Structure formats: structure tokens, C-alpha cells
Amino acid sequence: MFISNLEFMTGKKVTKHLGLVQGSSVRAKHAGRDIMAGLKNLFGGELRGYTELLQESREQATERMIEQAKAVGANAILNVRFSTSSITAGAAEIYVYGTAVILDGLD
Amino acid sequence: MYELVVTLILISLGYFFGRLAEKKHYKNIIAREKVMNSLPAMASRMPPQDGDYDQMLVSGSVVIANDYFKLFVAGLRNLFGGQMSSYETLLDRARREAVLRMKDKAKALGAEAVFNVKYEASNISGQSRKKMPVIEVHAYGTALRRV
């Protein structure tokens, strides 16, 4: 599966548009991590636990988007965007969406 | 009285460690940016049309929190309004760090440049007002690798 946030791929023609595909993932912060983050809050700086957590969550969302694209028979997703929103205290939703297409000459 | 002492200790701890960490981080960022200058990140949506390129989505992210001193200064600032430089440096550091991480990934893939770079910043600390702001900055773009 080919994924890009550009609107086309150089040298390849889009033969068919298959519409929007999306994936999302909601993750809550782990209490242990939260305590560590609270300590870290005093001195400022990066909260590595959260960075990892959100990265995992983003990967999962992308994975779900890819699954959906495969299901509609696409071989590429173009113009991919990410968005994050915090829904309640301690949980964040990661949403990723893009246009599923069939590119010519791509396996 | 007791609470005041605790708050003052927290503020001074935040001041010393926060300042130290910030200085160190800026030094680190500037050094890495010099190295990474060979791999430009661009906001342009039009990749070069000459030759064949592989495109790959790359991203970098960082979650940051303010230190206690900065929070205190920002609280004072809120009374009078105006520029909040303590938050500005925090976000500046986070954005640059996120881009550097994105470029690290692009470099590992052997890319020449990153196109259509987008930033996204979100507050993930939740709605409670008492809590410290915890901000995530995410940068992503399309890495181009010459075939």
C-alpha cells in the first residue's frame, strides 16, 4: 500500500478514485504513566511516555485506514491528513483520512 | 504558610531545571538542524517533475509539558495580557524537535527532501482547568527518494 500526503504520485496516473478512507483510534493514558508525567510536569520537557503512546495510536489508526483501503480494492492512499482531538481528560482520539485510489502501474 | 513554601519551592525548582533543560535542548536542536540542512523540508505541494521518485509518508511527534515556573509566569501574564514568551519558546522547541524527528526518519529511508509538511498541535491534557497544559506537536510530510 502506497501512502502519501501529496495529491498525486510523480510518473503514475490515477486510474480510479475510490473515495475517502479513514481510520481512528482512541487511547487513554495509563495511570502509571500519568504519575510519571505529573512528576515531569514540575521540570518541564518532553513526556516520552505520551509521545510513544500517541505514536502507537497513530500507527494503529493508519493500519485501520490501510485495511479499509484494501477492502475497497485500492493500491494507494493519497492526500492523507491527521487530526487529533482530546475527548475527555486523559484520552485522545487520533484520526487519519485520505483518498483511496488505484494507481496505474503499481503492484 | 505551608502551601506557600511548597509553591515557592516548586517554582524555583521549575526555574532552575526548566531553564537548564531549555538551554540544553536549544543547543541540541541547533546542532542537529545544521546536520539536517542537507535534507530540506518544504511546505510546497508540487514535487519536482523531473525523474522518478518514491514517495513515503514520514512523521515525527513530541509531547511536551511546561515547567512550574513557566506556568506561574504565564499566570501572571494572564492578568495583564501581552506576549507570553515562556509559551512561545516551549512551542518553538516542540515544533523544531518534531520536524527534526521527521527528518531523521526521512534520512533513514534515504530521502532527498520532504514535501508538503504539515504541522498539527493539540492539547491533550483534557478539559480540567487546574491541570498543566500538555501539548502534542506532530509534523508530517512526504519524503521523496530518487529511484
ipTM: 0.82
pLDDT in tens, B7-45: 888 888 878 888 888 888 899 999 999 999 989 998 888
Chain B residues whose beta carbon lies within 8 Å of the beta carbon of residue A84: 120, 122, 124, 136, 138
What pLDDT was estimated at residue B79? 85
CATH superfamily for domain B2-146: Hypothetical protein apc22750. Chain B (3.30.110.70)
d(CA B27, CA B24): 5
Q: How confident is the model over A8-47, as pLDDT tens digits?
A: 887 788 899 999 999 999 887 666 666 666 666 667 778 8
Main-chain dihedrals φ then ψ at residue A90, nearest 5 degrees = 90, 0
Tell if the pTM clears 0.90, that is, is over it.
Answer: no
Per-residue model confidence (pLDDT) at position A107: 62
How many angstroms separate the CA atoms of B53 and B42, rounded? 16
Q: Which residue type occupies A31? A: A
Of A44, A80, A92, the CB nearest to B14: A44
| Cβ atoms < 10 Å from Cβ of A30 | 14
In B, residues 69-128, which contact A (CB 8 Å cutoff)? Answer: 70, 90, 97, 115-116, 118, 120, 122-128
Domain locations in chain A as residue ranges: 2-103
Terminal-residue alpha carbon distance, chain B: 68
Residue numbers in A near B60 (CB within 8 A): none
pLDDT on residue B33: 93
B132 part of contact set with chain A, CB < 8 Å: yes
The mean pLDDT values, 10 residues at a time, for chain B of 147 residues are: 85 82 90 91 84 87 83 81 84 93 94 92 68 84 89
The CATH number corresponding to A2-103 among 3.60.10.10, 3.30.110.70, 1.10.510.10, 1.10.260.40 equals 3.30.110.70
How far apart CA B111 and CA B113 sit, in angstroms, is: 6
Comparing CB atoms, the residue among B47, B131, B132 nearest residue A6 is B47
Pairwise CA distance, residues A55 & B138, whole Å? 10
From the list B92, B87, B101, the residue with the least C-alpha distance to B140 is B101
**C-alpha cell recorded at residue A42:** 514540575
User: CB contact, 8 Å: B43 with chain A?
Assistant: no
Q: Is A107 on the interface with B (CB under 8 A)?
A: no
Rounded Cα gap, residues B64 and B61, in angstroms: 10
Chain A residue with minimum CA distance to B48:
A10
Instruction: Find the distance separating the first CA and the last CA of chain A, reported in whole Å.
Output: 9
